[in-house]
Chains A and B, each alone.
Chain A
């Protein structure tokens, strides 16, 4: 302890820190996708939205000097990409999964193209709130440096849970997702509901991207996302379209991502590729445990093209 090392405590601390640091993009993308999928549409393009959000947030933060404007720009970019997805899907006989894959490639490609001149400059970052002020262990203080976006995401999960159950628009989204005929019979435009749901989903995914480039790891480069957007979309299915479960699943994924490096740092060096794959093994295991050939996935919106 005298030399400032905390030995094996690094592992739980890193998993805690990782859960806080790494989970935020997963959280925002999965909550956004949760809204979209509850309305009966799947948007696989959120990987592209995440990367576009990261790039536009970094660019706007660099140009204006205000990281919060960057976050806003990321959200707007995401909403526009969402509108594009919803717009194309409104056309007759369009498959939303195929459009999503196209938009995923479009979003990442466009972000790499527009982001070329942004790799070198350093943009102002979002600040962190120091929740570890009471501790004199620097490692713990570092793990507890929390960004406001994480707190917003954590607060958003129960709010969405509540909103889906008790508010009018929550009910509308669910109606559109469970039975478009019922929604139409009530006099609502299903396409308009889905357009709004996809735009809100894109807005949140864009903000998730701004966290990547403006807070952690905290700079723009092309490997930044490395598939986190698509993982988060899968996470929604894994979380049974429940915003609260999305929160826990995101935290678990964040913590699992920190496990590999943390174990190596305390000397558990064998099989680090296996530990690096921990999040994916976790997903597979839970999917296998919870799936059943006798019924469809519980909680799945009936209008979703993958369950219909």
Chain B
């Protein structure tokens, strides 16, 4: 282990961590056995966000020569820096996956500057040229799968009201809400999407209350963006509403009520990353993709999904998979306050970085970002 060497060097360099950015570009040289560290913000079997990442980590465990270390329930504070340091110093991790949004800045950036020879891959962050070169951010355009869910929801809803239980109004969540709402409107132009923010990633009682309140308002198809969709799925199914899943496939929880869902496909992506490193290529610092790149996928349709809905959803899915792609956020888009947020004539393709700064809810969404 080269722990002693690194820390001594750091003592000498003192606070000169900033200059280390200049030492970037050095490709990490892996020992025979490579250790990879995964850090989760919640429990890794939460039927949701963390479980999706843990499934990706499990796919890496099967590859010979790789050792995976994991730590769960690490808060988005300097606690994650301590976890990263102990994974590096004690376990010898050379590739780290801090998987939660709030880990990125300043925590992971700080660690990437401190350990310039190691590789850091963050899920969801916005890597820019100013960030260290040994850091990277990857994410999936899961709004593509949410758009498909929205189409199915729009066809299935009898009241024309669909609901969304959301954690916090950050760009990724807003993008999912908007994609779901636009999908529902594609199926039924009169459909509205009502959103309730619970305020945090895991608040089971609030999520259950939000689900009940939405159904009381006449909503009959629900989806969510919280860490563990189990509470929403089970409570909505008990009230007789339909659900679209999120993060992983929740159909075992409510087989009759489950329509489809937006799932991560990390078990396909993580082995790709490792292969890139083994082949001596560097992972692109800013890595994004959707259905076509197999970073996200949709759950198989449930029995309640009509043939019409399946046909339309499959057509749109085929467009996402095609070479020219498909833009969910087209020009002339108006938000729910009546302001034009995307000027007419300029479609925002999926890779457009403007979409990752989303701070509005589109027309047809009932709710507010603050």
Q: Could you list which residues of chain A lie within 8 angstroms of chain B, going by C-beta atoms?
A: 3-6, 10, 13-14, 17-18, 21-22, 112, 116, 119-120, 122, 139, 142, 216-219, 221-224, 226, 228, 257-258, 260-262, 264-267, 269-270, 272-273, 276
Q: Mark B209-223, 1 if CB is under 8 A from A, else 0.
A: 110111111100000
Question: Are A217's CB and B228's CB within 8 A?
Answer: no
- Which residues between 36 and 82 of chain B lie within 8 Å of chain A, taking CB atoms? 42-43, 45-47, 73
Among the interface residues A3, A14, A119, A221, which one has the most CB atoms of the partner chain B within 10 A?
A221
Taken together as a complex, chains A and B put the C-alpha atoms of A4 and B203 apart, in Å, by 28
A17 touches B212 (CB 8 A): yes
Shortest C-beta distance, A17 to chain B (Å), equals 7
Q: Any chain A CB within 8 A of the CB of B197?
A: yes
Q: Does B142 contact A (CB under 8 A)?
A: no
Contacts of A224 in B (CB 8 A): 204
CB neighbours (8 Å) of A17 from chain B are 212
B366 touches A267 (CB 8 A): yes
Chain B nearest CB from A271 CB (Å) reads 8
Give min CB distance, A25 to chain B, whole Å. 9
Q: How far is the CA of A224 from the CA of B46 in the complex (A)?
A: 12
CB pair B206–A260 under 8 Å, yes or no, is yes
Q: Is the CB of B207 within 8 A of A217?
A: yes
User: Nearest Cβ in chain A — how far from B257, in angstroms?
Assistant: 13
B 189-201 to A, binary, CB cutoff 8 A, 1 in contact else 0:
0000011111100
- In the assembled complex, the Cα of A139 lies from the Cα of B370 at a distance in Å of 27
B357 on interface, CB distance cutoff 8 Å: no
The contact sample of 26 A-B pairs, CB cut-off 8 A, is: A3-B160, A13-B216, A14-B209, A14-B216, A142-B212, A217-B234, A218-B231, A219-B231, A221-B43, A221-B46, A221-B47, A221-B202, A222-B42, A222-B46, A222-B73, A222-B202, A223-B204, A223-B228, A226-B205, A228-B205, A257-B205, A257-B206, A260-B206, A260-B209, A262-B209, A264-B195
Tell whether, in the assembled complex, residue A122 and residue B253 are in contact, meaning their CB atoms are under 8 Å apart.
yes
The answer on a CB contact under 8 Å between B235 and A265 is: no
Total A-B pairs in contact (CB under 8 Å)?
A: 130
List of A residues within 8 angstroms of B194 by Cβ: 265
With A14-B213, A217-B204 in contact, is A273–B218 under 8 Å at CB? no
Q: Which A residues are in CB contact (< 8 Å) with B160?
A: 3
Given contacts A139-B216, A219-B230, A265-B214, contact A119 B47 (CB under 8 A): yes
B interface: dominant SS: mixed
Give the chain B neighbours of A223 by CB distance below 8 A: 42, 202-204, 228
Residues of B within 8 A of A (CB): 42-43, 45-47, 73, 159-161, 194-199, 202-210, 212-218, 228, 230-231, 234-235, 238-239, 252-253, 366-368, 370
* Interchain CB contact under 8 A, A226 and B203: yes
Q: Is the CB of B217 within 8 A of A266?
A: yes
CB A300 to nearest CB in B, in angstroms, measures 30
Q: How far is the CB of A126 from chain B (nearest CB, A)?
A: 12
Given contacts A14-B213, A221-B46, A261-B213, contact A22 B205 (CB under 8 A): yes
**Cβ 8 A contact of B209, one of A3, A18, A139, A269:** A18
CB distance from B245 to the nearest CB of A (A): 14
Within the complex, what minimum Cβ distance (angstroms) separates A216 from chain B? Answer: 6
Evaluate contact between B159 and A4: CB separation under 8 angstroms. Answer: yes
Chain B residues lying within 8 Å of A221, measured Cβ to Cβ, are 43, 46-47, 202, 204, 228, 230-231
CA distance A79 to B107 in the complex (A): 43
- B366 contacts across to A, CB distance below 8 A: 267
Docked-complex contact B209 and A4, CB < 8 angstroms: no
A residues within 8 A CB of B45? 116, 119-120
Q: How distant is the Cα of A6 from the Cα of B212 in the complex, in angstroms? A: 13
Least Cβ distance of B37 to chain A in Å?
20
What residue in chain A is nearest B231 (Cβ atoms)? A217
Q: Which residues of A contact B46 (CB under 8 A)?
A: 119, 221-222
Instruction: Indicate whether A265 sits within 8 Å of B213 (C-beta atoms), given known contacts A4-B218, A216-B208, A272-B197.
Output: yes
Q: Contacts of B209 on A, CB cut-off 8 Å?
A: 14, 18, 21-22, 257-258, 260-262
Q: Which residue of chain B lies nearest to A272 when distances are taken between CB atoms in the complex?
A: B197
CA distance A287 to B214 in the complex (A): 33
Complex Cα spacing A262 to B206, Å:
10
Q: Are the CB atoms of A222 and B43 closer together than 8 Å?
A: yes
Judge whether B367 and A264 touch: CB under 8 Å.
yes
The 9 A-B residue pairs with the shortest CB-CB distance in the complex, in nearest-first order: A269-B368, A223-B202, A5-B218, A265-B213, A217-B208, A261-B210, A139-B216, A261-B209, A217-B204
Give the docked Cα–Cα distance between A120 and B202 (Å). Answer: 16
Instruction: Collect the chain B residues with CB atoms within 8 Å of residue A272's CB.
Output: 197, 199
Residues of B within 8 A of A116 (CB): 43, 45
Given A4-B218, A260-B206, decide whether A120 and B213 contact each other with a Cβ distance below 8 A. no
Q: Which residues of B contact A10 (CB under 8 A)?
A: 213, 216-217
Q: Which of B43, B196, B206 contacts A265 (CB 8 A)?
A: B196
CB distance from B224 to the nearest CB of A (A): 13
Q: Please, how many angstroms separate the alpha-carbon atoms of A193 and B195 in the complex?
A: 52
Give the distance to chain B from A24, nearest Cβ to Cβ, in Å. Answer: 11
Q: Is the CB of A273 within 8 A of B204?
A: no
Task: Give every chain A residue within 8 A of B238 (Cβ-Cβ).
Answer: 218
Q: Is the CB of B216 within 8 A of A142?
A: yes
Given known pairs A3-B218, A142-B215, A261-B196, the reply for A217 and B43 (CB within 8 Å) is: no
Is there an interface contact between A217 and B205, defined as CB atoms closer than 8 Å?
yes
Pairwise interchain contact A270-B370, C-beta atoms closer than 8 A: yes
In the complex, what's the smallest C-beta–C-beta distance from A261 to chain B, in angstroms?
Answer: 4
Q: Which residues of B contact A217 (CB under 8 A)?
A: 204-205, 207-208, 231, 234-235
Q: Is the CB of A5 within 8 A of B215?
A: no
CA distance A292 to B200 in the complex (A): 36
Find the A residue at minimum CB distance from B370.
Answer: A270
Partner of A264, one of B197, B235, B253: B197
Shortest distance from the beta carbon of B71 to any chain A beta carbon, whole Å: 14
A261:B218 contact, CB within 8 angstroms: no
Give Cα A32–Cα B314 distance, bound, in whole angstroms.
Answer: 56
Residues of B close to A262: CB separation below 8 A: 209, 213
